[in-house]
Homo-oligomer: A and B are copies of this chain.
Amino acid sequence: MDLENIKYFKGKKPTRRKFLRGALLAGGSVAASSVAATHALASSGADPAIVDKQPWDTRFGAGVDAAPYGLPSPYEVAVQRRNVPWLTADTVSSINFTPLHQLDGIITPNGLCFERHHSGVAEIDPAKYRLMINGLVERELVFTLEDLMRFPRENHVYFLECVANSGMEWNGAQMNGVQFTHGMIHNVMYTGVPLRLILEEAGIKTNASWLLVEGADAAGMTRSLPMEKALDDCLVAFKMNGEALRAEQGYPVRLVVPGWEGNMWIKWLRRIEVGDRPWHHREETSRYTDLMADGRARRFTWELDAKSVITNPSPQAPLTHGRGQTVLNGVAWSGRGTIARVDVSLDGGINWHTARLSGPSLDKSMHRFYFEFDWDGSDLLLQSRAIDSTGYVQPTKDALRAIRGKNSVYHNNGIQTWLVNPDGGVENVEVS
């Protein structure tokens, strides 16, 4: 690899650094280590007296009546969803981003799940909530929230990824932080009623083959959903991570469409129309289609391919501890099944190492991976690639561009590269 192959991020925006420091990149000595056999990880110079004689050791803290609904420690105030003001004309039709570099495991806390609204957060009175099902059904029905709670429920952990996630990276390294390159994703345990049971209750007619699913926000967000998916694994969900859906995630009821584009997971779900062909509405023609190099557009590219990213180190989470034992941390997911394996590279894709998967292996859910290695202080070019249960291997961005051109915004599941400098700072780069 040589420096010619590194495309620096373009520095169009004031928050981005303009160029790399001059050091040569070297693969370096990066053999994976097992648990350190020495006590190099302890701060042997630290004063043991700091262990006690602290204010929290000598006085009472807050009692059990202080916080009926608890919040993070004041020391964690910087752990936030963040939006990018220049990205959209208004915050009511915009996006904010999950701080992936500050999270671990596979559960995204509800307060940090990224948001994408088309008309802001609808605040719905659950007593006035209704779900209508009409069209090619035996019985047109209207359900209250309590009606829905009388159907059998299921619980599943699924990732929800906006299909525009990493979209700004199509034309090269752009955003300097994993929160912004990959933060349009969250991973949550949903409780809901299989959509199949709602459809059975209404009785679908023999010529029914598509649904129109519609939200109750001012955007009236709609998408066409093929009947086969609706009868497979979709949920009409009312809980996330144990509690009621958050308003910004569709309270009181959203559609869950596992493994498919987030825009199809209609929030504030108010109507399901059953039909015999797709509707070709605005949000599946002018948007959420894939414009190819020859000017034609792919429609209905619903499934999300396998993808992964290293969350630590990353531009917002530099290496601050210097040389020695280092934990590389990341997440992988696939809209087509489970994650079978994740490989990581420390030298921009020349050599690959098998990462260690951690936590349960769940269908269409994030999977956490780690790779422990001894850092020798030289530059690193970090990459990860996910392999899913179908055998699909996450491609390079160039491989995607070779097929789809550079007009695309959506479905960028290409391999991400982070450059780690000797000072521990991390930058978003591309190698080819």
Contacts and interface: CB of A to CB of B under 8 A. Distances in A.
Nearest to A64: B96
B321 A146 contact: yes
Interface in A355-372: 356, 358-360, 362, 368, 370, 372
B79 A327 contact: no
A63 to B, nearest CB: 3
A121 B243 contact: no
A317 to B, nearest CB: 11
Contacts of A105: 155, 189-191, 239, 241-242
Task: Report the copy number of this chain in the oligomer.
Answer: 2
Given A70-B246, A80-B68, A42 B142 contact: yes
B141 A61 contact: no
A320 interface: yes
Contact of A150 (B56, B268, B325): B325
A57 B36 CA distance: 59
A294 interface: no
A44 B359 contact: no
Interface stretch (A107-115, A299-307, A414-422): A107-115
A52 interface: yes
Contact of A123 (B65, B73, B189): B73
Contacts of A245: 73
Contacts of A110: 70, 72, 109
A112 B189 contact: no
Interface string A18-59: 000000000000000001100101111010101110101111
A92 B71 CA distance: 18
Contact of A218 (B60, B146, B191): B60
Interface residues of A, number: 130
B241 A57 contact: no
A39 B138 CA distance: 10
Nearest to A247: B73
B42 A65 contact: no
Given A60-B120, A112-B70, A220-B57, A46 B142 contact: yes
Interface stretch (A126-134, A342-350, A384-392): A126-134
The DSSP consensus for interface residues of chain A is loop
Contact of A216 (B52, B76, B80, B151): B52
A122 B116 CA distance: 36
A397 interface: no
Given A144-B46, A152-B370, A103 B35 contact: no
Interface string A90-119: 111011100000111111111111011101
Contacts of A58: 218
B244 A356 contact: no
Given A57-B220, A141-B39, A246-B70, A356 B92 contact: no
Contacts of A65: 83, 85, 91, 96
Contacts of A152: 35, 327, 356, 370, 372
Interface stretch (A2-10, A196-204, A279-287): A196-204
A54 B124 contact: yes
Given A56-B216, A120-B62, A69 B112 contact: yes
16 contacts: A42-B201, A44-B141, A54-B216, A56-B123, A57-B218, A60-B92, A65-B83, A69-B71, A69-B72, A73-B246, A73-B252, A104-B191, A105-B239, A107-B241, A112-B242, A151-B327
